[in-house]
Amino acid sequence: MQIEIITIGGEILSGRTVDTNFAFLARALEAESVQVGWHSTVGDAADRIGEALGLALERADAVVITGGLGPTPDDLTRKAVATALGRPLQLDERVLEGIRERMRRLGRKLPASVETQALIPLGAEVWPNPLGTAPGLLIVHEGKPVILLPGVPYEMEALATGHAVPYLRKKSGRHVETFTLRTAGTFETLLQEKIGAAPQGWTGASLAYLPSYFGVDLRVTVSGNDPAQVRAVAGRAYDELRARVSPVIYAEGAKTMEEVVGETLLEMKYRIAVAESCTGGLVAKRITDTPGSSRYFERGFVTYSNAAKVGLLGVEPGAIEAHGAVSAAVAEQMAAGARRNAGVEVGVGVTGIAGPEGGTREKPVGTVLIAVSSPRGEAGRKYHFVGTRNTIRERAAQAALDLARRHLRGLPIEPKLE
């Protein structure tokens, strides 16, 4: 089954808005082995929308359109699609009443323009929007589904997850199993070397390597007509991958490193404090992004200057003079100082050079020292990251969390794929 996704909006064509809706839909459909064969972007013009839809219906088995379903004059998708398919718009009283009820609950007056969202192409199935007023629409035109979703990302995602993706998965007639293993502390090429030709033995499966600031995710998707066989292949793939790369796996699915660290701290009944220089509070932010982190996160120290390191954390001036602010000695004293001053079991210290300036031959941009202090003892590592200032900071924050995880779990500080 081949899908075409059409995104509507002049703001996308201008480059002012990034098309995150396409990325979400493509990923969600790929996970269900529903293949996206084409993607097009069209401005807010009825004739162009109709032209794009006509072309998509010629070559695709189904079409998903996102954007242009709002109440403003430039929201032309509903009318353009109705015209292109020869399906006149009709007022749907149930949709209109749903919009009115939503406005009443929010205590807002219903603008007359919003009522246009209750105009539905003849024969369309309405999918209620749990987060907004514009419903999703399904039109089966000459045997091909045409799906209309709002352009507001969180509304689109809710309707895609609740209706569009399950519908297209069922329409494809394929059974799908998928899983993701998240890795850190290694590179895509090393993973490929270690995994080797194993995926060739997984009938109906595909392995995707998904690198990011935070590591490399390994996502396996298995599809086929026999559910039992699909499950069996997925199980074998899972076991073989874990056997080959387990030293660098930190989580499965969508679980983040900060969630894993939080679970570890709760399990050990420890609390944590962090002291940051080059990451500027990013480690603390990552930890506190997790709901419930107040149970184990005490505080963070952003000690960018040497004076702050000395005054707030008790770093010895002599250590800075002898080794420099970006050194193992200072990182260790930052971790110990955060732990001591916050009165917690775990302290993390991060110091480095995020760039783009400030590096030397001995300590180039991307040099980062990270240390952890806990009842288990002390641990530290020196890292050399490459990339932009933002990339280095993001990678340093991930490395700090991973070092804390490894230290607390008693794992090797420098993971290796044997």
pLDDT in tens, 165-213: 999 999 988 888 999 999 999 999 999 999 999 999 999 999 999 999 8
- Provide the 8-state DSSP code for 161: I
Distance CA 71, CA 73 (A): 7
At 111 the pLDDT is 77
The answer to the question of residue 404 being in a domain is yes
The answer to the question of residue 417 being in a domain is no
By DSSP bridging, strand 272-276 and strand 297-302 are parallel
At 190 the pLDDT is 95
* CA 403 to chain CA centroid, nearest Å: 22
* CA 54 to chain CA centroid, nearest Å: 33
Q: Which residue has the tokens 């995994």?
A: 195
| 342, 379: one domain | yes
- Provide the 8-state DSSP code for 162: I
| 39, 120: one domain | yes
CATH number of the domain within which 301 lies:
3.90.950.20
The answer to the question of residue 418 being in a domain is no
Tokens for 55?
């072309």
| 189, 102: one domain | no
CATH number of the domain within which 218 lies:
3.30.70.2860
| 9, 46: one domain | yes
| 199, 224: one domain | yes
Please report the DSSP string for 56-89 in residue order: HHHH-SEEEEES--SSSTT--HHHHHHHHHT--E
At 381 the pLDDT is 98
At 174 the pLDDT is 82
By DSSP bridging, strand 377-384 and strand 367-374 are antiparallel
| 12, 59: one domain | yes
| 183, 325: one domain | no
Of 237, 252, 267, which residue is a domain's last?
252
The answer to the question of residue 414 being in a domain is no
pLDDT in tens, 276-289: 999 999 999 999 99
pTM over 0.85: no
The answer to the question of residue 416 being in a domain is no
Mean pLDDT of residues grouped by 10 in the chain (418 residues)? 95 93 94 91 95 98 95 88 96 90 82 84 95 94 97 96 95 89 96 96 94 94 93 98 97 97 98 98 98 98 98 98 98 98 98 96 97 98 96 98 98 88
CATH number of the domain within which 75 lies:
3.40.980.10
Q: What angle do helix axes 20-30 and 165-172 make, rounded to 10 degrees? A: 40
**Which residue range is the domain that position 240 belongs to?**
175-252
Number of domains in the chain: 3
| 235, 270: one domain | no
| 168, 186: one domain | no
The residues that bridge with 220 in the sheet, in sequence order, are 179, 207
The residues near 43 (Cβ < 8 Å, ≥ 6 apart) are: 8, 9, 10, 13
Please report the DSSP string for 108-159 in residue order: ----GGGGGGGEEETTPEEE--TTSSSPEEEEEETTEEEEEE-SSHHHHHHH
Angle 100-101-106 (CA atoms, 0-180°, nearest 5)?
A: 100
Asked if residue 231 lies in contact with residue 177, where contact means CB atoms within 8 angstroms, the answer is: yes
| 247, 351: one domain | no
Secondary structure E strands in 253-360? 272-276, 297-302, 346-352
| 73, 166: one domain | yes
Secondary structure E strands in 172-255? 175-183, 205-212, 215-224, 249-252
| 35, 112: one domain | yes
Tokens for 280?
């500027």
At 183 the pLDDT is 98
At 176 the pLDDT is 87
